[in-house]
Amino acid sequence: MNREDAIRKIMSCLALGDSPNEDEAKTALLMARRLMAKYKIEESEIGVEDDNPVEQKETEHIFTYRSSAWKAAMAMVIAENHCCMSFCQHRYRSKSYTIMFMGKSEDVRICIAAMNLAVAAVDEGILRNHLKGDSAYAYANGFTRGLKKAYNKQNEENESYALVLSVPQEVKDYTDGLAESRSSAQRKRVVDSAAYYKGFQDGEGHLTPRLEEA
């Protein structure tokens, strides 16, 4: 693919970015960003203005550190690979927290879609394997670690992934004064290594194949 072909492909992907199908929109936007990084194509070359503001958005995912801290860890993994920062907002008079993402509006939309898909995959895996309690937590924790490894492998295979999916400086500037609200997942001892390993395998296989080859 030459540079001119890449520009045409990027414009097609951006058009698909408005698709009502979240999976299709996410895949198209990621493809566009990766091609722009790979071929060093500026936004001005494809007639795109930087009208993508930084925003913070609440997700539907609520958790407690006692039962589902893995959701906070998963949000971090997804955010750091999709140009965003993740936060955990404490719910008033409650021990629960809400997952938040901060970044440019399109990137936040992609993070939320990726989070929804990953949590759904964990829930499905727990049901499929008939897991409960600590075993279910071990599976979810393993899935998160496997997902992180999959992202790292994807970035290693294509250097432009890490470049284009890094957190923009303007997003970092927004979060400088919010460092205290960032939250890392409290670790919970894994008591079911078999469930953890199964989750790890499923998480490692969760990402779609490299988009350029799809």
Tens of pLDDT, residues 72-125: 999 999 998 888 889 888 888 888 999 999 988 888 888 898 899 999 999 999
Whole-angstrom distance, CA of residue 81 vs CA of residue 145 = 14
Residues 76 and 144 in one domain: yes
Residues 40 and 132 in one domain: no
Residues 34 and 121 in one domain: no
> In angstroms, what CA-CA distances link 206 with 19, 148, 151?
22, 10, 10
Residues 139 and 187 in one domain: yes
Tens of pLDDT, residues 173-194: 666 655 444 444 445 666 789 9
Overall domain count for the chain: 2
Residues 94 and 30 in one domain: no
Residues 145 and 203 in one domain: yes
Residues 117 and 171 in one domain: yes
First vs last C-alpha separation in the chain: 14
12, 34, 51 - which closes a domain: 51
Residues 34 and 79 in one domain: no
Q: Which domain holds residue 19?
A: 1-51
Residues 75 and 121 in one domain: yes
Residues 47 and 58 in one domain: no
